[in-house]
Chain A
Amino acid sequence: MSLFRPRHTISSVVQQLRSGLLNGNITLSPTSAKTILESKSPALRSTAESPINKFDPDSFAQGSATVPEKAGGLGDNVTVLLQKWRLGDKAAESQLFQLLMPDLKRIAARSLRRERLGHGLEPSDLVSECFLRLKTANANIEWRDQSHFLAIVTLKMQRILIDYARKKHDSQEVPLEDLPERALANNNWLEIALTLDELLDQLEKDSPLDYTVVVLRIHLGMSNQEIAASLRMSLRAVERVWHQARKQLYTQLNLARASVRAKEDPDVSLTNDRIFHKFVVEYELAEF
């Protein structure tokens, strides 16, 4: 009985999308100039020729053009600048950092807020150090877009802070923000940061999308709506990916705890237990 069967299945939608995309009847996104220019529609092509999509980073670098104010356009231009920077364009480099400096300072300030008082590092120091490290690693990174760049910047800053703490050797036990009290008892920031770092590395290998969403959410403090807008996904899809990512982290922590217990290493086991609690509490309290 057809009534009891779903009208659209994943297979039928995949086939419909595939044939539509190949025939040009379906486009990827209405905001992507590249996609619109590919389409056969004159109406859509005219929108692609609007000033926002005609933005030329070279003329901007010479001071003869202005940055478009529309959010989507700015994101696309950052992508272009990132690609140019990767190829060694110095003008693109300065324009890129000029454009994103407010975001970089915001991320640096946010990262430093978690540190103890009298840390010694200022947001501008962190941004400069991060810039130097990114400059070295730039050629090896395939930049996708602005969100990807900011996610990498956030992780670099975390690593800088970890390295800084290691060098200082006088790291105090300070509580992390937004964590439940029972998860904070006798916590060492460095231990937590290192363990989370390892887990995130693993997550990046297993599922880059989950990793991006986790980084944007935890480190950049973006809301689900903001992530959905920057990754061009629906809010529901972002919520699902976020849920999936946390579930995976939860499972990995569980496995890590089991393996540590098997090795009977009480110190490491204790740390993992604390972080495990953090995710258990967050996971259980979350509304889905």
Chain B
Amino acid sequence: MTNDDCPRTAGEVIDQAIAENKAGERLLYGFAIAFVAVGLSGLVWAITNRETVLAVIGLLTSALFWPAMSSVRRTRKESIAIRLLEAPLSRADTAKEAAEMLQRLFQEIFHDKQQDGIRYSEKAKAAQ
């Protein structure tokens, strides 16, 4: 059976999106662990051998842990939000009704993000 013969369900789409996000999440966890391990080892080695430049490089490598972890957090947040889409979808009776519901939701998300952007730029202006 081809994909055209058997349409996927909304639940399957959501599950797949979350599973794909999870793969990226695991990769980022791996990166975070690798950065910390390599960075700290380099740092310890550089300190014991009194290598200032290598110590700084080790420190910088360890610091890369932070963007990796914040990306993991962001990905997890998105995955949770995607999972919660099941709640409004479960209340819709027809595909059309669900599509309208999603349209409203999308507008709300877009509006919120826009508002966040405005707030952020206002804060940045005020800081300047």
List A residues at the B interface (Cβ < 8 Å): 3-18, 20-22, 24-30, 34-35, 38-44, 144, 209, 231-234, 236-237, 240-241
CA distance A5 to B67 in the complex (A): 10
Contact of A6 among B6, B78, B92, B94 (CB under 8 A): B78
Contact A27 B87 (CB under 8 A): no
CA distance A25 to B2 in the complex (A): 12
- For residue B20, CB closer than 8 A to chain A, the reply is yes
Question: CB-CB < 8 A to A9: which residues of B?
Answer: 78
Question: CB-CB < 8 A to B67: which residues of A?
Answer: 4
B56 to chain A, nearest CB (A): 23
Contact B105 A6 (CB under 8 A): no
Question: CB-CB < 8 A to B20: which residues of A?
Answer: 7-8
Digit string of B110-128 for contact with A (CB within 8 Å is 1, else 0)? 1001000000000000000
Contact B13 A13 (CB under 8 A): yes
**In the complex, number of A-B residue pairs with CB atoms less than 8 Å apart:** 141
A136 to chain B, nearest CB (A): 27
Contact of B10 among A6, A27, A209 (CB under 8 A): A27
Question: CB-CB < 8 A to A29: which residues of B?
Answer: 9-11
Contact of B84 among A30, A39, A43, A237 (CB under 8 A): A237
Known pairs A4-B67, A240-B80, A241-B87; A13 contacts B93 (CB<8 A): no
- For residue B59, CB closer than 8 A to chain A, the reply is no
- Of all chain A residues, the one with the shortest Cβ separation from B106 is A14
Contact of A7 among B7, B8, B21 (CB under 8 A): B21
Digit string of B85-101 for contact with A (CB within 8 Å is 1, else 0)? 11101111111101100
CA distance A155 to B85 in the complex (A): 28
Interface of B is mostly: helix
Contact A21 B87 (CB under 8 A): no
Known pairs A8-B20, A240-B83, A240-B84; A17 contacts B102 (CB<8 A): yes
Contact of B109 among A6, A11, A22, A43 (CB under 8 A): A11
- For residue B14, CB closer than 8 A to chain A, the reply is yes
- Of all chain B residues, the one with the shortest Cβ separation from A212 is B91
Contact B80 A27 (CB under 8 A): no
Question: CB-CB < 8 A to B6: which residues of A?
Answer: 41, 43-44
Contact A26 B84 (CB under 8 A): no
Contact A4 B99 (CB under 8 A): no
CA distance A29 to B92 in the complex (A): 10
Known pairs A9-B78, A18-B99, A20-B13; A34 contacts B93 (CB<8 A): yes
- Of all chain B residues, the one with the shortest Cβ separation from A39 is B7
- For residue B82, CB closer than 8 A to chain A, the reply is yes
- For residue B71, CB closer than 8 A to chain A, the reply is yes
